[in-house]
Amino acid sequence: MFTQFSNSGESVGFRENKAVGVSIEHLSKSFNKLNVLKDFSLKVAPGEIFVLMGPSGSGKSVLLRHIIGLEMPDSGVVLINGKDALSEDIREHVRMALVFQAGALFNSLTVFDNLALYLREHRLGTEKQIKDKVMQALTLLSLEDAAKKYPSELSGGMKKRVAISRALVMEPQLLLYDEPTSELDPVSSAMIDEIIATLRDQYRVTTIVVSHDRDLAMSIADRVGILMNGNLIHIGTPESLKNPTDKRVSDFLYPKVDLNNPRFKKIIP
């Protein structure tokens, strides 16, 4: 299915991109005295797939929002190709897409219009070309039947897939996924993994994936980082996760389910 997408004509599919590199330097961010990110630094090479893991509320989504320019850092900077992510130049000339955790679909538009909005607003092709392109992106994620539906009529998993296809239509150079496979069944999850990997292989899309999905990290990641308490406690290849030396990492990745000594009893005596 994906091959079909990538091999199609010029108007459809990804243009050959100059891959972008992301460099996060000494980023700090706090909300009302809650320090979410503390002097966070990370470099993601052009065309790399970086998987970011970490417990809920550790600030993964906040980090993605900084990279795409939705959030202003308290201190530090996010550089894309060496330029500030918030600058006009980057906004205008680097195509970046974020697959939001909750989808962030336009509720007043149909699925089709959700995908077509970007193309129409930036006048990327005639209405016919836009339609072909959108339908192809929808077909890719088995959403062709949902084209005329509104987001409120979709299931959680379908919303997630629509959000991904909406990002794909933008043909981004930098693609950020915020928990793309949560709420998806195993087959759909595997499909998403394949899409992420293929996009990178064929079009050198720099990819940052936030996920709790160990399989995803193991199968497609070039590098994996674990965010905890506002900073990376581990960074390395997927192999390095198999036998972590750090106790925090092993506790996070391979928690033992101990029914005789449940965790909540420790919290609520």
Restricted to residues 62-101, the positions that interact with ligand ADP (CB under 6 A) are 62
Give which of 4, 24, 11, 36 is closest to 206, Cα–Cα.
Answer: 24
Which residues pair with residue 83 across a beta bridge?
Answer: 80
4's contact among Mg ion, ligand ADP, another protein, none, with CB below 5 to 8 A by partner kind, is none
The single residue listed with the structure tokens 């795409």 is 68
Restricted to residues 88-117, the positions that interact with another protein (CB under 8 A) are 91-92, 96-98, 100, 102, 104-108, 117
Nearer to another protein, 92 or 239 (CB): 92
If one asks whether residue 61 binds Mg ion (CB under 5 A), the answer comes out as yes
CB of 137 to ligand ADP, least distance (A): 26
| Alpha-helix residue ranges (DSSP H) falling in the chain | 2-7, 60-67, 88-93, 111-121, 127-140, 156-169, 186-203, 214-220, 238-242, 247-253, 263-267
If one asks whether residue 34 binds another protein (CB under 8 A), the answer comes out as no
CB of 77 to ligand ADP, least distance (A): 19
Binding mask 152-191 for another protein (x = CB under 8 A): ------------------x---------------------
If one asks whether residue 70 binds another protein (CB under 8 A), the answer comes out as yes
CB of 30 to ligand ADP, least distance (A): 9
If one asks whether residue 58 binds Mg ion (CB under 5 A), the answer comes out as no
Dihedrals phi, psi of 244, to nearest 5 degrees: -70, 140
